[in-house]
Amino acid sequence: MKRLGGRRSVSLLPATKREESLLPWKYIEGFSGWFIYKLSKYLPTGAYPISSKICSGRKIKTRHRINLSRLSGDIGTLDLSCIMQTKGHASNCTIQKVRVRNTEITDRLWEVIKLGKIIILEDSEIRRYRDVFFKNALSIDILGSSVEQIKHCVIDLLKVRRRRIRINNANILIFWDEYKDCTFAIRYADVVGVMQCIPLIRVAYFDQVDITPGVIKELAKHPVVEIRLTKCYVLPLKLYDLLDACRTTLRLIEFSDTLVTPSVIDYFKENSITVILNK
């Protein structure tokens, strides 16, 4: 008869110490979150003001027609596609995320969109856009054919302080995300004008742009850790200026389909900077 109190089997693998899962400071809202994060190790500072990646609340998805009067309560995600008929007016509701695709946005729909904190407009008619419609938005995505309709007021759109913005189609890319370590990416003619509207850059991606003295001057204003160049044009002497401008913080630079001389590569490596070459 088997004893109930017998020895328990012991694993032959050594027990590994479980690492404490600490939230990186870059995921805490605002750059000042770094101080709160460090201080919390020594003093009880309460809960972190963490931005939720998942929108809580109901998810409503509709096509072709919508009755705005039926929207009520807390709505996590409102997904609208190919809306051709709109009735009523929205009232008594809060919306976290609004996504509109393939729709001509009327004044009634704009009243709903401006309630959202996360706004995604894709391949939609947005010529009636005004700054007041995005006054509550913390994150904005303008994608596809919608980009061409607002490209004349891109700088005005960027001047309003937000946590995240993405403007992207086949020709234009402007991206900045405070939650992703203040990552900045651009494929646009007025690089300097856009960079002057960005509050903080730590990781910079440049795609098919000229690295001019103006761009280097703007990079010098930020604690840039990584710079990645893809199909960019830059003179060898300007790369020396780039290193001098970001010497105190720069740790990595990547060249993809970008001409660079061996002497420049050696100069970066001598200054303890990792160089990545991709052809």
| Angle in degrees, 0-180, between the axes of helices 262-270 and 236-245, rounded to the nearest 10 | 10
In the numeric block, the tokens 């700054």 are attached to 131
Strand pairing class (164-168; 173-177): antiparallel
Domain range 172-279, CATH class: alpha beta
Separation CA 23–CA 29 (nearest Å): 12
The first and second tokens of residue 101, run together, are: 């695709």
Separation CA 118–CA 71 (nearest Å): 17
Do 147 and 167 contact (CB within 8 A), yes or no?
yes
Of 246, 239, 228, 231, the closest CA to residue 266 belongs to: 239
- Strands of the sheet with 226-230, listed across from one edge: 58-67, 73-87, 93-101, 118-122, 139-143, 164-168, 173-177, 183-187, 203-207, 226-230, 252-256, 274-278
Do 110 and 89 contact (CB within 8 A), yes or no?
no
Separation CA 155–CA 195 (nearest Å): 10
Of 149, 210, 146, 223, the closest CA to residue 184 belongs to: 223
The distance of Cα 259 from the centroid of its chain, to the nearest Å, equals: 28
Of 139, 125, 124, the closest CA to residue 180 belongs to: 139
> What are the residue ranges of CATH 3.80.10.10 in the chain?
172-279
DSSP classification of residue 28: B
Cross-strand partners of 88: none
pLDDT at 55: 58
Question: Which residues of the chain fall short of a pLDDT of 50?
Answer: 1, 10-14, 16-23, 25-37, 39-54
Check: pTM over 0.85? Answer yes or no: no
